[in-house]
Amino acid sequence: MSSSDHPHICTIHDIDEHNGQPFIVMEFLEGQTLKRRIADKPIDAEQVARLGMQIADALEAAHAKGIVHRDVKPANIFVSTRGQAKVLDFGLAKLLPSESEISTTDLSSTPALAGTLPYMSPEQLRGVPADTRSDIYAAGVVLYEMASGQRPFRKELATRLVEDILHQPPVSPRALNARVSPELERIILKCLDKDPENRYQSAKEMAADLRRLAAPSADPAVPAALPTRVPGREAGHNLPTQRSPVVGRERELSAAKKLLLRPEVRLVTLTGPGGTGKTRLALHLAENLLEHFKGGVYFVPLASITDAGLVVPAIAQTMGVRQTGGKPIIEDFKEHLQHSYGSATLLLLDNFEQVIGAAPLVAELLEASAATKILATSRALLHVYGEHEFAVAPLALPDLKRLPDVKALSQYPAVALFLQRAVGSGQAGQVREDGAPVRAFYDTIEVVP
């Protein structure tokens, strides 16, 4: 499955072999696996709903293409530092030995499988081939675990565990964590029904129920509105501070800056596949443009929004637009842009591919306020009038066939970034020629169970 178009599926760019060693080229993710995130403690109920919704969205996209994951579990789900769930690539899931196709007799005698058995549905244990509803069951176990800090069935002996999965009702998650709402409990238990016919029949229905629970206004990914601006004072911004320096990108910075400052250019879209560095470049660019936008620079992350109708409310909330009620928020918004500042304002709309249906609204906003410019990052173009594409290529890589020496290697921005992160994360005290940081990096991701 080409997954670069789904924000909650981890992108695998390539799987190949080098000197007999298989390796995976994947989207660069910062964060931890859901397994580590849970670490036997319940996660805040709001976040359970949000992460659960994102996982269900990813499953829905895969199921729509006829792909059943068959190994949904916390070790196969990544949670980025920005709180985004990424389900490990489905193509990869298929490449891994398919545990669900191993019979129960093998299971009880194969201790290596004990880590996955708890996520298998009753029908899988009975030898029925996994279908989309088995993924929904497994997602239910994941939800249960996030909400309560423990799995629904926890017997250590595989045969006992299988017995419980087949016949025992799970303990109520609310009995384990009183903060779990009755509605979240209902959703979890519906996923865990022994009979696939009584579960959600599609990941889409499951996502819809979770979405209702995860109120967008409470989304921590949407930063708080800026304090009211005092006229005449320096423009405000809500750009997040970056914890590490930007590597390379000097040329891109100056070219993009020039482009965005051209008077007739109103919308610049940084495009490229997942993880190529669009957001990072956009933030860097925005910081460098502060003095040119006295009306303020507003960062609006859209990664956790999947409903195009929520884009304008999200921007309005970030900008502190007051709703007068009775009329569509876009009208309040236009008024705000036209009257309050009148001075140049920059909106940074991050991960627009998520809400591409809202592209016409963006055009409408631009038309309403001549002083506003938009910098978007998106894996796909918005295709609106006046859009300027700025393609972001990955950081330069050395020629893998003729590798230069270690010192020359570290001159490449991509290598420098990798080393900076590997060393910075404490995974590698120093750079060794045997590639120790590389292995440490993959260890942290726990790709292989």
Ligand X SMILES: Nc1ncnc2c1ncn2[C@@H]1O[C@H](COP(=O)(O)OP(=O)(O)OP(=O)(O)O)[C@@H](O)[C@H]1O
Active site residue 71: yes
Is residue 248 within the footprint of ligand X (CB under 6 A)?
yes
**Two structure tokens written together for 370:** 């001549």
Q: How far is the CB of 206 from ligand X (least distance, A)?
A: 24
Site for ligand X in 389-418 (CB under 6 A): 417
Q: How far is the CB of 299 from ligand X (least distance, A)?
A: 13
Residue 104 phi, psi dihedral angles, 5° rounding: -60, -30
Q: Which of 16, 23, 25, 30 binds ligand X (CB under 6 A)?
A: 30
Contact segment (CB under 6 A) with ligand X among 70-78, 154-162, 275-283, 438-446 equals 275-283
Is residue 177 within the footprint of Mg ion (CB under 5 A)?
no
Question: Are the CB atoms for 391 and 272 separated by under 8 Å?
Answer: yes
Distance (Å, rounded) from C-alpha 446 to C-alpha 393? 27
Q: Which of 208, 246, 265, 330 binds ligand X (CB under 6 A)?
A: 246
Distance (Å, rounded) from C-alpha 202 to C-alpha 183? 18
Q: How far is the CB of 312 from ligand X (least distance, A)?
A: 21
Is residue 269 within the footprint of ligand X (CB under 6 A)?
no
Q: How far is the CB of 197 from ligand X (least distance, A)?
A: 37
Is residue 277 within the footprint of ligand X (CB under 6 A)?
yes
417 binds, among ligand X, Mg ion, none (CB under 5 to 8 A by kind): ligand X
Is residue 295 within the footprint of ligand X (CB under 6 A)?
no
Closer CB to ligand X, 250 or 433, in the complex:
250
276 binds, among ligand X, Mg ion, none (CB under 5 to 8 A by kind): ligand X
Contact segment (CB under 6 A) with ligand X among 33-41, 162-170, 184-192, 278-286 equals 278-286
Is residue 275 within the footprint of ligand X (CB under 6 A)?
yes
Q: How far is the CB of 66 from ligand X (least distance, A)?
A: 25
Number of residues that bind ligand X (CB under 6 A): 18
Q: How far is the CB of 30 from ligand X (least distance, A)?
A: 5
Closer CB to Mg ion, 281 or 363, in the complex:
281
Closer CB to ligand X, 237 or 249, in the complex:
249
28 binds, among Mg ion, ligand X, none (CB under 5 to 8 A by kind): ligand X
Is residue 279 within the footprint of Mg ion (CB under 5 A)?
yes
Q: Which of 351, 354, 369, 372 binds ligand X (CB under 6 A)?
A: 351
Q: Which of 33, 47, 276, 345 binds ligand X (CB under 6 A)?
A: 276
Based on the number of CB atoms within 10 Å of its own CB, is 59 exposed (0-12), middle (13-18) or buried (19 or more)? buried
In the set 71, 209, 219, 350, the catalytic residue is 71
Q: Of the candidates 192, 191, 189, 169, which has an alpha carbon nearest to the alpha carbon of residue 181?
A: 189
Contact segment (CB under 5 A) with Mg ion among 54-62, 143-151, 240-248, 275-283 equals 275-283
Q: How far is the CB of 327 from Mg ion (least distance, A)?
A: 33
Q: How far is the CB of 253 from Mg ion (least distance, A)?
A: 17
Closer CB to ligand X, 121 or 351, in the complex:
351
Strand partners, 271: 378, 391
Is residue 279 within the footprint of ligand X (CB under 6 A)?
yes
Is residue 122 within the footprint of ligand X (CB under 6 A)?
no
> Residues interacting with Mg ion, by CB under 5 A?
279
Task: Please list the active-site residues.
Answer: 71
> Residues interacting with ligand X, by CB under 6 A?
28, 30, 246-249, 272, 274-280, 351, 377, 379, 417
